[in-house]
C-alpha cells in the first residue's frame, strides 16, 4: 500500500498536532514529508534544490516557464487557468537562493487534488521551448530593421524593478558580501544586465537535471488521505530513472580570516545624499535546534522592540533614519545576521560600525537586562504557540521551515532532517532552564558569533543620480552593439521571431486543451455564505462585537476609535499617534520599560488605521484601532497596560517623536519602488470616496509630502507640533468614539468582558463631533517621478457616479478580466510583471493597474480597450463557470479565527451586512455572459472619464504622449 515508497521515520509532533512521516521513493530516492493532522486548509509543495552557477536568473525564469503548459495540460498557462477557476487558498511559485518551490493549498479536497496534479505535471513535464524562455526570461524585440531593438521579458522587467529598490539591493549585496564563494554570492532572481546571457541550451539542461524526483522534496500537510498522497507522487516519480543529485549540493562558504568592506550604488534622484549601511556576520548552520531558537531570541533581544538595546542605540545616535538590514536570515544553509541604518551620511558609516561594536561589547561586559531576555523569550514563545501565519496557510510556513534543514545533505551524502526545527518544546525548555540557572547564553552568543567572528562584512550603499541613466545607456549600447553585429538575415530573423512570439501569445488555447484542466463545477460550490459567529453586547457603556471562535486560549481584541472628528490638517498624524501610544512611553515609565512590559505580558499590542467606505453611503468607517492579543492568564495585566497607554501616553517626548517621524518617513519612501502599484491605487481611489481620500492622506503620497514637513517643524517649533498631538489625542481617545471587538471562546470572554469595561471606563466621556471635509484636488493626469527603471501605471474612476449599480457579476467579470485580457495584454505581451483590476464594491471605484511595467502609453491604450473587448466577447460557458468559481473563491477566502473575527467586525462597521452579502453571492452564482456587459459599461466610463496616475521613470512618462502633470516624489 506504500506505492513505491519506504517509510524512513514517523514522529508525532505534539506542538503542531501532527504526525510527521518521512518517506523515500525506492526507485528514484525522491524525498517526501507527509504531515497528517486535522487542518482543512491542505497544503502541497514540490521543491527542488536549484543553486545557480551565475546571475542569469536561470532558476527564476524556469520557475515562471514550467507553469506555461505541460504534457497533460497543453495550454499556454495552466497556472492562470487555476487562478481563474479554483477555490485555492494559495497558488504560487517562488525562487530562493538555493531552491525553487511550487506550493498550492485549498480547503476543498477535490480542488486540492486538481491543483496537485496540475503542478506535478507542470514541474516534471513542462512544454519548454525557446518561446517560453523568450516570453518569461528575455528576448530581442524588433519590428523594423531601422527601429531600435529592445529587450523584453517578464522576469527581465521584474528584476529591473528589484534593482530599482534600494531595500532589495541592500539585502542582495549584504548576503552576497558574506558568500562570495558559493551560490549565495549570486543573484538567483537574475541581474538584468546578466539575464540576456542565458541561452536555451543552459535553460533546457537545467530543467532536465534539476527537476527530477531524485532532486525533489515533496511536502503534504492537512486532513487528506496519507496513502493517496504517496499514490499521486509515485505516478510521477516512477516515470523517471534514478539520477545522482550531487551537482545540486550547496557547499559551505569558507570562513574569512578578516572582515571585508563593500561599497555599492543605487539609482537615486538628483540631490539625494541618503546612504544605507549594514554590518553583516556569517553565523552557523541552521541544523542545531537549540542554537537556531536561541539566535531567533537573540535577534529579538537586540532589535525586536523599539527599546531593544542595539536598535535603541542606533536610533538614539541620530546617525540615520530607520533600521536597515534583514536581521537574522535563517532560511539558507548558513545563517547570517545583518543590521545597520538607512538614511545615513556616507562619512558616518564608520561611526555606525563603531557604535554597533561598542553596544555589543557593553552587552557582553555589563550583561543583558533580564527584562529584555524575558520579553524576547515570551514574544518568541507566544509566536510559536500561536502559530498565526496570517493569510498564509499554516502548512506553507511549516514547509519552508522544514526545507531550511532538509535541503542540505551531510558530508556522507545523507539528506538533512526535515523535522529538526518543528518540535520546539525541548529547545525552548532548554533555553529557559539555562537562563534560570544564570547562564549568560545570549552574551556568550554575542561574544562568539558577533564580536569575535572575523567573517564579517560592511556594506555601504550610496545614491547615484547618474546610475539610472548609465544603466539605460549601457543597455541601449549593448543592444545597439548586438544589432550592429547582425547581418540583414539576422535582423530579418529577429523581426520574424518577434512577430511569431506575438502570434503565439495572442493565439487562443485549443478549447479541448482548456477542457483538460481539472476544476470544480459551479454546482459544487456552497449556495450560501458561511456566517461568522457574531453578537453585540454592551460593555462599560460601549458597544462590543463578540465572536465565539476557538482560539486555543488566546484572546484577540480591538479598541477602535472613530476618526470622523479629526480635521483634514491633522490626518497625517493619526498613524503616528497610534505608534506613540505603544512606543513612546507613559508618564509612569519610559518607552524602554513600556516596550518590555508589553512584550513580557502580551502577544503584541499594535496600532492599525482602518479607513473604508460605508456601504451605500458617502460616510467613511475611519478608525484608529489598537489591536491586542494575550493569553487568559495575562489579561488582567494587559488591561493595566492599555489603561495606562490610553490615559498617560507621552505625547511630548521630542526625541522619541523625532525618531518615529524619521522611521515613518523612511518607510514611506522605501515603499515607493517595490509597492508603487499600491500607492498609485490609493491615489486613484482617493478621487472616488471620502474614505479613500482619508486613507491616502494618512498612508499615501499626500502623507509622504506632509510628513516631510515634520522634521523641521519638530526642530524649530516643537511646542506647536506637541499641541497638535495633544489635540489629536483629545479628539480621538474618548469613550463615545470607542467600539470594541473580541474573538475567543466563551469562557475566556467571560474573563475579558469586565476588563474591557474597565478600559472603557478610564476614557473621557463623550464623542467628537464629525468635521466637514474638503475633497482633495488632484490633476486629471498625474505623473509621479521616482528613480526606477520600471513604471506603475493606473487609470480609474468612480463608476457609481456615472450610473453603474453594483451587481455580483462585477466580481466574476473582474476576476475574468484580471486573469484573462489584462494578464495577456499587460504581462504576456507587454512584459510587465503584473496587471490588475481593482473594484471597490462599497465606493464604486474601478481602477486598472500595472506592476513593474516597461510601458506607459501602451498600457493606458490596453486599459481603454477593455470596454470593446468585453462588449465583443463571445464568452464560453466554461470561461463563465471558471470566473464564477474564482469569484466565489475570493468571497470564501480561508481565514484563521482571529482574522474571521476582525473581518466580521469590519463588515459591521461598514454596513456590509449578511443580507447584502447573500445577495452578492446569489448574483455571482447566477450571473450570465450578458451580465459581463456591466463591466464593459464601467470600463467605458474609466476610458472616457477616468483619471490617470503613473509612478515611475520620468523620461518614459515624458515621451508617453499622455501630457501628464509631473511631480518628483523621490
Catalytic positions, please? 63, 136
- What is the rounded CA–CA span in Å between residue 314 and residue 211? 45
Q: In sequence order, what DSSP letters do the residues of 839-904 get, joined into one string?
A: E-TTT-EEEEEEESBS-SHHHHHHHHTHHHHHHT----HHHHHHHHHHHHHHHT----HHHHHHHH
User: Buried b / exposed e across 125-148, counting CB within 10 Å, b at 16+?
Assistant: bbbbeebbbbbbbbbbbbeeeeee
Q: Which helix (H) or strand (E) holds 299?
A: helix 289-299
Say whether 576 sits in a helix, a strand or coil: helix
Q: Is the dihedral of CA 584, 590, 596, 600 positive or negative?
A: negative
**Sequence-ordered alpha helix ranges (H) in 407-528:** 425-436, 441-445, 467-484, 488-506, 511-515
CA distance 588 to 683: 41
Do residues 41 and 222 make contact, with C-beta atoms less than 8 angstroms apart?
A: yes
Task: Point out which residues pair with 140 in neighbouring strands.
Answer: 151
DSSP-based three-state secondary structure for 696? helix
- How far apart are alpha carbons 925 and 919 in whole angstroms? 10
Return the HEC string of 942-955.
Answer: HHHHCEEEEEECHH
CA dihedral 590, 595, 597, 600 (to 10 degrees): -160
* Distance (Å, whole) CA 485 – CA 826: 31
547: CB partners within 8 A, 6+ apart: 532, 533, 534, 741, 742, 743, 900, 901, 904, 905
Rounded-to-integer distance, Cα 781 and Cα 783, Å: 7
Q: Can you tell me the distance from the alpha carbon of 473 to that of 568, in angstroms, rounded to the nearest whole number? A: 44
Closest to 168 (Cα-Cα) out of 789, 590, 691, 624: 789
Task: Answer left, alpha or beta for residue 70, where phi above 0 means left and psi between -120 and 50 means alpha.
Answer: beta
CA separation for the pair 133, 520 (Å, rounded): 31
Phi, psi of 508 (to 5 degrees): -70, 155
Amino acid at each position: 500500500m506504500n506505492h513505491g515508497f519506504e517509510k524512513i521515520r514517523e514522529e508525532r509532533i505534539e506542538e503542531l498536532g501532527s504526525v510527521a512521516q518521512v518517506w523515500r521513493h525506492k526507485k528514484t530516492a525522491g524525498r517526501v514529508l507527509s504531515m497528517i493532522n486535522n487542518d482543512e486548509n491542505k497544503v502541497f509543495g514540490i521543491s527542488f534544490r536549484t543553486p545557480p552557477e551565475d546571475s542569469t536568473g536561470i532558476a527564476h525564469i524556469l520557475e515562471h516557464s514550467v507553469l506555461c503548459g505541460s504534457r497533460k495540460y497543453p495550454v499556454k498557462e495552466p497556472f492562470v487557468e487555476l487562478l481563474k477557476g479554483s477555490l485555492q487558498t494559495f497558488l504560487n511559485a517562488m525562487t530562493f537562493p538555493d531552491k525553487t518551490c511550487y506550493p498550492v493549498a485549498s480547503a476543498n479536497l477535490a480542488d486540492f487534488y486538481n491543483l496537485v496534479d496540475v503542478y506535478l505535471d507542470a514541474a516534471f513535464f513542462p512544454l519548454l521551448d525557446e518561446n517560453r524562455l523568450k516570453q518569461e526570461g528575455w528576448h530581442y524585440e524588433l519590428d523594423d530593421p531601422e527601429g531600435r531593438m529592445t529587450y523584453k521579458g517578464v522576469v527581465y522587467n521584474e528584476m529591473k524593478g528589484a534593482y530599482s529598490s534600494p531595500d532589495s539591493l541592500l539585502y542582495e549585496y549584504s548576503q552576497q558580501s558574506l558568500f562570495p564563494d558559493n551560490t549565495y554570492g549570486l543573484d538567483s532572481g537574475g541581474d538584468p544586465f546578466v539575464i540576456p546571457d542565458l541561452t536555451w541550451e543552459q535553460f533546457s539542461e537545467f530543467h532536465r537535471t534539476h527537476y527530477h524526483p531524485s532532486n525533489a522534496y515533496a511536502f503534504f500537510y492537512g486532513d487528506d488521505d496519507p496513502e493517496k498522497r504517496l499514490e499521486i507522487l509515485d505516478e510521477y516519480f516512477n516515470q523517471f530513472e534514478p539520477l545522482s543529485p550531487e551537482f545540486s549540493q550547496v557547499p559551505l562558504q569558507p570562513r574569512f580570516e578578516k572582515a571585508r568592506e563593500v561599497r555599492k550604488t543605487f539609482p537615486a534622484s538628483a540631490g539625494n545624499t541618503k546612504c544605507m549601511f549594514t554590518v553583516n556576520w556569517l553565523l552557523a548552520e541552521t541544523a542545531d535546534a537549540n542554537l537556531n531558537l536561541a539566535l531567533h531570541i537573540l535577534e529579538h533581544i537586540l532589535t525586536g522592540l523599539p527599546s531593544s538595546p542595539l536598535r535603541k542605540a542606533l536610533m538614539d545616535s541620530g546617525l540615520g533614519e530607520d533600521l536597515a538590514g534583514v536581521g537574522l536570515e535563517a532560511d539558507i544553509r548558513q545563517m547570517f545576521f545583518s543590521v545597520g541604518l538607512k538614511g545615513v551620511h556616507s562619512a558616518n558609516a564608520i561611526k555606525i560600525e563603531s557604535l554597533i561594536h561598542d553596544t555589543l561589547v557593553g552587552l557582553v561586559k555589563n550583561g543583558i537586562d533580564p527584562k529584555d531576555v524575558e520579553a524576547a523569550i515570551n514574544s518568541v514563545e507566544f509566536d510559536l504557540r500561536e502559530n498565526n501565519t496570517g493569510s498564509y496557510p499554516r502548512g506553507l510556513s511549516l514547509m519552508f521551515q522544514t526545507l531550511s534543514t532538509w535541503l542540505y545533505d551531510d558530508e556522507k551524502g545523507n539528506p538533512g532532517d526535515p523535522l529538526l526545527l518543528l518540535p520546539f518544546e525541548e529547545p525552548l525548555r532548554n533555553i529557559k532552564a539555562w537562563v534560570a540557572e544564570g547562564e549568560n547564553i545570549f552574551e556568550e552568543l554575542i561574544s562568539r558569533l558577533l564580536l569575535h567572528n572575523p567573517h564579517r562584512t560592511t556594506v555601504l550603499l550610496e545614491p547615484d543620480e547618474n546610475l539610472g541613466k548609465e544603466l539605460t545607456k549601457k543597455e541601449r549600447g549593448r543592444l545597439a552593439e548586438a544589432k550592429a553585429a547582425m547581418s540583414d538575415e539576422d535582423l530579418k530573423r529577429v523581426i520574424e521571431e518577434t512577430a511569431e512570439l506575438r502570434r503565439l501569445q495572442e493565439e487562443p488555447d485549443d478549447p479541448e486543451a482548456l477542457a483538460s484542466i481539472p476544476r470544480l463545477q459551479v454546482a459544487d460550490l456552497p449556495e450560501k455564505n458561511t456566517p461568522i459567529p457574531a453578537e453585540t453586547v454592551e460593555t462599560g457603556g460601549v458597544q462590543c462585537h463578540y465572536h465565539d471562535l476557538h482560539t486555543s486560549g488566546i484572546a484577540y481584541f480591538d479598541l477602535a476609535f472613530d476618526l470622523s472628528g479629526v480635521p483634514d490638517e491633522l490626518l497625517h498624524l493619526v498613524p503616528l499617534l497610534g505608534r506613540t501610544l505603544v512606543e513612546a512611553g507613559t508618564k509612569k515609565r519610559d518607552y524602554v520599560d513600556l516596550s518590555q512590559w508589553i512584550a513580557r505580558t502580551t502577544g503584541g499590542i499594535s496600532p492599525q488605521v482602518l479607513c473604508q467606505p460605508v456601504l451605500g453611503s458617502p460616510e467613511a468607517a475611519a478608525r484608529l484601532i489598537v489591536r491586542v492579543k494575550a493569553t487568559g492568564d495575562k489579561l488582567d495585566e494587559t488591561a493595566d497596560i492599555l489603561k495606562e497607554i490610553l490615559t498617560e501616553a507621552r505625547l511630548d517626548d521630542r526625541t522619541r517623536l523625532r525618531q518615529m517621524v524619521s522611521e515613518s518617513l523612511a518607510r514611506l519612501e522605501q515603499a515607493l519602488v517595490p509597492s508603487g502599484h499600491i500607492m498609485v491605487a490609493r491615489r486613484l481611489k482617493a478621487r472616488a470616496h471620502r474614505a479613500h481620500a482619508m486613507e491616502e492622506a494618512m498612508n499615501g503620497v499626500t502623507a509622504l509630502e506632509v510628513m516631510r514637513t515634520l522634521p523641521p517643524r519638530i526642530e524649530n517649533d516643537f511646542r506647536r507640533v506637541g499641541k497638535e498631538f495633544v489635540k489629536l489625542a483629545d479628539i480621538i481617545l474618548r469613550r463615545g468614539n470607542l467600539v470594541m471587538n473580541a474573538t475567543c471562546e466563551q469562557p475566556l470572554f467571560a474573563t475579558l468582558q469586565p476588563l474591557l469595561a474597565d478600559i472603557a471606563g478610564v476614557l473621557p466621556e463623550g464623542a467628537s463631533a464629525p468635521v466637514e471635509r474638503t475633497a482633495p484636488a488632484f490633476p486629471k493626469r498625474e505623473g509621479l517621478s521616482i528613480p526606477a527603471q520600471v513604471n506603475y501605471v493606473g487609470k480609474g474612476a468612480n463608476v457609481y457616479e456615472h450610473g453603474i449599480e453594483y451587481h455580483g457579476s462585477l466580481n466574476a467579470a473582474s476576476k475574468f478580466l484580471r486573469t484573462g485580457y489584462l494578464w495577456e495584454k499587460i504581462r504576456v505581451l507587454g512584459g510587465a510583471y503584473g496587471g490588475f483590476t481593482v473594484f471597490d464594491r462599497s465606493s464604486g471605484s474601478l481602477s486598472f493597474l500595472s506592476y513593474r511595467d516597461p510601458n506607459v502609453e501602451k498600457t493606458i491604450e490596453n486599459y481603454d480597450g477593455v470596454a470593446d473587448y468585453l462588449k465583443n466577447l463571445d464568452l464560453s460557458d466554461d470561461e463563465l463557470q471558471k470566473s464564477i468559481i474564482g469569484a466565489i473563491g475570493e468571497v470564501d477566502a480561508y481565514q484563521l479565527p482571529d482574522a474571521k473575527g476582525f473581518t466580521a467586525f469590519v463588515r459591521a462597521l461598514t454596513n456590509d451586512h449578511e443580507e447584502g452579502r447573500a445577495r452578492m453571492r446569489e448574483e455571482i452564482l447566477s450571473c450570465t455572459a450578458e451580465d459581463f456587459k456591466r463591466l464593459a459599461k464601467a470600463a467605458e466610463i474609466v476610458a472616457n472619464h477616468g483619471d490617470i496616475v503613473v509612478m515611475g521613470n520620468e523620461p518614459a512618462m515624458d515621451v508617453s504622449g499622455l501630457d501628464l502633470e509631473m511631480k518628483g516624489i523621490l
